[in-house]
């Protein structure tokens, strides 16, 4: 297994763990909210926790979707172009995605820093942790796009998806 494959596996594993934990927290919060409303003991903080967990689920899921080829994409044009043009378009798309996500990391970090001045109303959690989801989304997306660019330039992938042979 080469270094890119190991990094891809590590990235996929960490992002899946992040998405799985976020989804688990979201499910638990919603179930607690439903249970509480059914028995007259509604918990106000569960709605906030649900929103926060959903933000992190999207943050980790965006990179996974990009790597697997499941992100919303308009392939109808690229797939109907002759020769190497589809590959060039996918490479350009990955480069642009990486560039934009990387470029936004510093402003997103400033947004995270603003969160230390605020707390969430129901849970009293510092908003830094909530705002961090935006930075995580950009970082995960940048890593996923960079991995695609490297994979395409080295010939390890064609830019359509990051599926293992048994998944294809």
Domain membership of residue 165 (yes or no) is: no
Query: How many structural domains compose the chain?
Result: 1
Whole-prediction pTM: 0.85
Q: Could you tell me which of 74, 81, 56 has the C-alpha nearest to residue 140? A: 56
| 23 and 53 Cβ atoms separated by less than 8 Å | yes
Domain membership of residue 168 (yes or no) is: no
Domain membership of residue 160 (yes or no) is: no
Of 44-58, 90-104, 144-158, minimum mean pLDDT range: 144-158
pLDDT in tens, 32-53: 999 988 888 888 899 999 999 9
**pLDDT at res. 61:** 94
Domain membership of residue 161 (yes or no) is: no
């Amino acid at each position: 297994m080469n270094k890119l494959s190991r990094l891809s596996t590590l990235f996929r594993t960490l992002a899946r763990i992040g998405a799985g934990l976020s989804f688990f927290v979201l499910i638990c919060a919603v179930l607690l909210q439903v249970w509480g409303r059914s028995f007259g003991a509604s918990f106000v903080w569960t709605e906030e926790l649900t929103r926060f967990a959903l933000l992190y689920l999207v943050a980790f899921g965006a990179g996974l979707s990009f790597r697997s080829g499941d992100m919303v994409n308009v392939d109808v044009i690229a797939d109907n172009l002759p020769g190497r043009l589809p590959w060039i378009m996918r490479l350009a798309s990955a480069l642009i995605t990486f560039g934009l996500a990387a470029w936004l990391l510093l402003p997103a970090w400033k947004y995270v820093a603003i969160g230390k001045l605020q707390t969430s109303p129901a849970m009293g959690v510092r908003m830094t942790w909530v705002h961090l989801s935006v930075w995580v989304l950009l970082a995960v997306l940048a890593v996923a796009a960079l991995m695609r660019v490297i994979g395409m330039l080295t010939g390890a992938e064609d830019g359509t998806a990051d599926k293992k042979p048994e998944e294809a």
